[in-house]
Amino acid sequence: MAGRSVHATFPTLGGFNHLPSKEEIEEAVRKLEAARPAALRCIATFERCDWSFDRDMDYQALVPEGNYWFLDGEVVTSQGERYNEKRYPDLLEHVVLPYSTASAYTHEGRPFMVGSLARLNLAKETLHPQTRKSLSKTLKLFPSTNIYRNNLAQAIELLHSIDHAIELLQGREFVIETPIKPEICEGEGIGVVEAPRGTLYHKIVVGEDGLVRRGEVIVPTGQNQINIERDIAGLVDGLLPDTDRSTIEHEIEKLIRAYDPCMSCATHFLKVNWDLV
């Protein structure tokens, strides 16, 4: 549909520079319908997973009005506060960690998490009707502060995306529109979307010559950084002193990956420096 699965080539400003044929759209719908049972099996697998790490936790997500979407809305917190994209500096406090080069953030001095679990906690009632019908029992597990439910939430969003895509593709006419030609001008732009692993912020400042003067990108993993560290501390505190080192390291890796951190963070093996006191 978009040219390729990663870094799609067909989308452009104002629409697409290439559209699939009617036959290709019908084939896409057939593939989506065939994928639906697999998505349900995936959900069942994660629902059976009995891992649990539950603690008081704040969360945030971009929530549109009336539908479960990833590209617009207001950022909503677990306390019910609402922020539009221009107010993101009031929402996020940048924290310098003396032991790390990673960016980290808090909200009103407290760590928080972003991602599928946050989205489902805040907006499960707006999932696609077919998804809600198929998962009426499963959705009773949310809202949840068990971070291992994040993977279940991701699987649920997979089914929602399949159902939404089928609805969008069926019975519609797609027409090529003339791409928008950008004008060179001075300005500032702020964008907020929900990436698969959480809320993603971009701020770009452009000079009158069209060159970027300043840019800021706030990625989901950075927003989850302090919350992950707090979870690790709580997890290890509950495992010591009666658990062997290899098991503790394995449990830490499980916890980190439940957050679905960026690719490099997710694939590296954990190296623990043990300091016996």
- The mean-pLDDT minimum among 19-28, 33-42, 76-85, 188-197 falls in 19-28
- The mean-pLDDT minimum among 63-72, 147-156, 263-272 falls in 263-272
Q: Per-residue pLDDT for 15 more than 90?
A: no
Residue 244, classified by CB atoms within 10 Å of its CB into exposed (0-12), middle (13-18) or buried (19+), is exposed
Distance CA 147, CA 132 (A): 22
The 10s digit of each residue's pLDDT in 92-146 is 999 999 998 889 999 999 999 999 999 999 999 999 999 999 999 999 999 999 9
The predicted structure's pLDDT at residue 264: 67
Distance CA 61, CA 162 (A): 21
**Exposure of 53 in the CB half-sphere (CA atoms within 13 A):** 22
The 10s digit of each residue's pLDDT in 145-174 is 999 999 999 999 999 999 999 999 997 888
Output the CA torsion sign for 63, 65, 69, 73: negative
The predicted structure's pLDDT at residue 108: 96
Mean pLDDT of all residues in 256-267: 80
Q: Which residues contact 199 (CB under 8 A, 6 or more apart)?
A: 60, 61, 62, 75, 114, 192, 193, 220, 223
The helix or strand, by DSSP H or E, that contains position 237, with its residue range, turns out to be: helix 220-239
Q: Per-residue pLDDT for 266 more than 70?
A: no
Q: What share of the chain is helix, strand, coil (3-state, %, to 5)?
A: 40, 20, 40
The 10s digit of each residue's pLDDT in 195-232 is 999 999 999 999 999 999 999 999 999 999 999 999 99
